[in-house]
Amino acid sequence: MKKVLILQRAIPNYRLPLFQALCALKEVEITIGCAEHDEATSTGIPADNYAGVRILPVKVHKLGGKLLFQQVVSLNPYDLVITDISINMVSVPVYLLLCRLKGIPVIGWGKGVPQLLDVPESGLKRRYKKFIASCCQGLIVYGQISKKYFESIGLGRKPMFVAQNSVHTERFYEQFEQHAQEGAALRQQLGLQDRFVFGYFGKLTGRKGVDKIIEAFRIVKDMQPASYLLIAGNGPDRARLEKLGADLVAEGSMQFMGRVPNGGEGAVLHAIDAYLSYSQGGLGILEAMATARTIISTPEVFPETELLQGNHNCFLSADFSTGAFAAAMEKAVREPAAAHAMGVQAQQTVKEKAGTTVMVNAFLNAIRHTLNQ
């Protein structure tokens, strides 16, 4: 049986089901080379939670700023290496060189697309990404947006396999009724039974535009006084955001829930009527779609937002202004039947195009193609 090593910085909670499924494959033996949870270098989960995952401990060292270096380990047992090609993991060229010297093919796995879409990407970064990706025999990319990015930097002939960046959306279908009951109980607990509830669920950081969401909500509340804003999550911007929305909280129109424990996402998502994404839409969008919530988003182009289709499975604002975003929000309140229908369609979209099964199939196709070259 062929042996495959997947090099990752760490295993975050949302990736655990993917790696469990990959390690359960009978066709190849997959091992995950990663570090344990370490606040200084990773966002991974503790090693005692790695049930069902074949682990090779690989330390990650912080060099300064965002730069990381992954410990070099022996590659002799492996027939193929899949490595995260993030620009901040400066050990990637070392592994690429070692694989070339040993004749081991490499698949690069990454998003490619710059995190800050409003900041022009330097030519140096683009050339570095092109160099790293060109050294790989194939690429696993995060959706069509990522594929187009790599094509734009001159890698159109490189074999690419689209693994829509996702979470284990399947659990939201399996536990739909349970989460719906928990969501209804949460709405009752918060006194929100007869209100249209907007929700944001994710990291509270400046690049997510949560302050813009609060500004837009103020506009909506003037037109739809019964609307409510629920913000769940934690992050470095929380204190500033709480100060910004203090008057809304005091009048009973808004609440900060703080960090939601793992497994509690379904209840929170079922407690809201519409999920809000202003900037750098993350995996929360796909979780909300999986729970049949309608999505309200700006028209940004990002791997996690590429499944959104305006007036079909979401409400898209006309532009990136808070006024346009507020107009999309208000339309959802004014047209609840349309909002519900879009949520149902959003769930169907995710079932077809995202989730652990889709990602596993993309990995397996990439592995088969590369090993058969």
Domain residue ranges in the chain = 3-168+355-371, 170-353
Pairing relationship of beta strands 60-64 and 67-70 according to DSSP bridges: antiparallel
Residue 11 CB contacts under 8 Å (≥ 6 apart), including other chains: 19, 32, 34, 44, 45, 50, 53
> Long-range contacts: 76-80, Cβ < 8 Å, 24+?
76/102, 77/3, 77/5, 78/3, 78/4, 78/5, 78/31, 78/104, 79/2, 79/3, 79/4, 79/104, 79/371, 80/2, 80/3, 80/4, 80/5, 80/104, 80/105, 80/106, 80/107, 80/367, 80/370, 80/371
pTM of the model: 0.86
Task: Please list the pLDDT of the chain residue by residue as tens digits (373 residues).
Answer: 999 999 998 888 788 899 999 999 999 999 999 987 655 555 566 656 778 999 999 988 888 888 989 999 999 999 999 999 988 899 999 999 999 999 999 999 998 887 665 667 888 999 999 999 999 999 999 888 899 999 999 999 999 999 887 778 888 999 999 999 999 999 999 999 889 999 999 889 998 999 999 999 999 999 999 999 999 999 999 999 999 999 999 999 999 998 888 788 999 999 999 999 999 888 889 999 999 999 999 998 888 788 898 778 999 999 999 999 999 999 999 999 999 999 999 999 998 888 899 899 999 999 999 999 8
Residue 320 to residue 330: CA distance in whole angstroms: 16
- Kindly state the tokens that stand for 96: 């690429």
Same fold, 3-168+355-371 and 170-353: yes
Instruction: Please tell me the CATH superfamily of domain 170-353, with its number.
Output: Glycogen Phosphorylase B; (3.40.50.2000)
**What architecture (CATH level 2) is domain 3-168+355-371?**
3-Layer(aba) Sandwich (3.40)
